[in-house]
Amino acid sequence: MSCMQIQKHIEENKLDTMLQLIKKHLKEDGICSFGISLVEDVRTVDGVEYKLHQSVYPAEWWKEKFISNGLEIFKGGRNDENHFGYIFNSKVRDHGNTSCYFVCTHS
């Protein structure tokens, strides 16, 4: 399962529900990859500001959020300040240190 650049658009009070639904539909031996923005995105249209990124938090916050919702960081793969269990050779959208990447399994 892949959730690249989706979580940033979900309001914080809806993240637990979204992650619990992902876990519910993830096969026991499945993985889910996440690419998450670490930067705000606010656009102004006709004088009105729109906050496009609703959930912008540091990588450690996301790690705890996944764990608290019954997902576990994949034990293999790349692990550094912005990669957690990441098993792929490339990223969908690589913006340097403006994103973090996770691969999760059932806990």
**Per-residue pLDDT tens for 70-97?**
999 998 888 888 888 888 876 655 555 5
Q: What is the pLDDT of residue 91?
A: 61
Only one residue has tokens 């892949």, namely 2
pLDDT reported for residue 65: 95
- List the beta bridge partners of residue 34: 3, 102
Q: Which residues of 27-57 are buried (b: 16+ CB within 10 A; e: fewer)?
A: eeeebbbbbbbbeeeeeeeeeeeeeebbbbb
* Phi and psi torsions of 9, nearest 5°: -95, -5
Token representation of residue 74: 């994949």
- In this prediction, residue 45 carries a pLDDT of 96
Summarised one tens digit per residue, pLDDT across range 27-85 is 989 999 998 888 899 999 999 999 999 999 999 999 999 999 999 999 888 888 888 88
Q: Which pTM does this prediction carry?
A: 0.86
Confidence of residue 26 (pLDDT cuts 50, 70, 90): very high
**CA pair distance 84, 77, nearest whole angstrom:** 7
d(CA 107, CA 94): 28
**Is residue 102 packed enough to be buried (19+ CB in 10 Å), middle (13-18) or exposed (0-12)?**
buried
